[in-house]
């Protein structure tokens, strides 16, 4: 069995004035006393076993006795409630302070790791926002260029009917004349409606929509009429 821990001076050898016993030394003394008691118990068990053993079975019997003793100790430790090593408040206070310090150090490490992780997440979020902002600017620029190219193409190939150099205005009876919309304007209205309210993408056809443009969009599958209201139409959802 291992050697016991070096014991501190006993109370008889030192007084409170000459050699004060702090909490740790007293705890070591109690541990050494318990260690000595365990050695004495083990010696008694060994002697009891040797007295009744045959020489040929000595080693095996010793092992069996040790095994039985361990089982008894295990059962006793399992059944009884845990006891404090010392009842001295100074010892308990010292042990409690050590445990609290360990917990404090562990919590500080966890806090430091969380702060570092949060800082990394904030940096990633800022970087992600900057990338999204750049992409949005690129998309706005691309949309502007695309609409400009579309407008030039439509103005060249699908111009509005002209009357003395200006677009024809529709006039029914006594109502004021209504200026017709260009094909590009009609498409932008349909696109904006589809993107703003995809659950209700239909647009009401009014007098500013030139009928040949409406027929053109419907015939080539670019737009669809409402199944229940022919005066409403929507853009085909090509992006789905």
Q: Is residue 131 part of a domain?
A: no
Is it the case that residue 14 has pLDDT exceeding 90? no
Residue 63 pLDDT exceeds 80:
no
Domain range holding 164?
Answer: 158-235
Residue 47 confidence (pLDDT) above 90: no
Q: Is 134 part of a structural domain of the chain?
A: no
DSSP code of residue 202: -
Could you say which of 87, 108, 123 is where a domain stops? 87
Please give the Cα distance from 187 to 147 (Å, whole number): 10
Cβ-based neighbour number of residue 27 at 10 Å? 20
- pTM to 2 decimals? 0.44
Mean predicted confidence (pLDDT) in 182-207: 91
CB 217, CB 223: distance < 8 Å? yes
End position of a domain, from candidates 87, 107, 136: 87
Q: Report the b/e string of 143-174 with b at 16+ CB within 10 A.
A: eeeeeeeebeebeeeeebeeeeeeeeeeeeee
């Amino acid at each position: 069995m291992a050697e016991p821990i070096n014991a501190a001076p006993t109370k008889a050898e030192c007084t409170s004035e000459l050699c004060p016993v702090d909490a740790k030394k007293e705890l070591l003394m109690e541990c050494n006393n318990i260690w000595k008691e365990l050695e004495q118990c083990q010696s008694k068990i060994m002697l009891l076993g040797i007295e009744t053993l045959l020489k040929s079975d000595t080693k095996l019997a010793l092992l069996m006795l040790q095994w039985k003793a361990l089982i008894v100790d295990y059962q006793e430790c399992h059944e009884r409630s845990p006891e404090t090593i010392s009842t001295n408040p100074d010892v308990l206070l010292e042990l409690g302070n050590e445990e609290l310090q360990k917990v404090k150090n562990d919590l500080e490490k966890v806090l430091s790791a969380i702060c570092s992780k949060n800082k990394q997440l904030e940096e990633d979020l800022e970087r992600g926002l900057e990338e999204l902002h750049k992409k949005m600017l690129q998309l706005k620029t691309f949309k502007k260029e695309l609409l400009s190219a579309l407008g030039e193409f439509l103005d060249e190939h699908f111009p509005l009917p002209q009357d003395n150099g200006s677009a024809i205005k529709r006039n029914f009876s006594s109502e004021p004349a209504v200026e017709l919309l260009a094909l590009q304007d009609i498409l932008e209205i349909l696109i904006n409606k589809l993107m703003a309210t995809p659950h209700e993408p239909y647009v009401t056809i009014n007098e500013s929509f030139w009928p040949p443009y409406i027929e053109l969009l419907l015939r080539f599958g670019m737009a669809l009429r409402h199944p229940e209201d022919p005066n409403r139409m929507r853009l085909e959802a090509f992006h789905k």
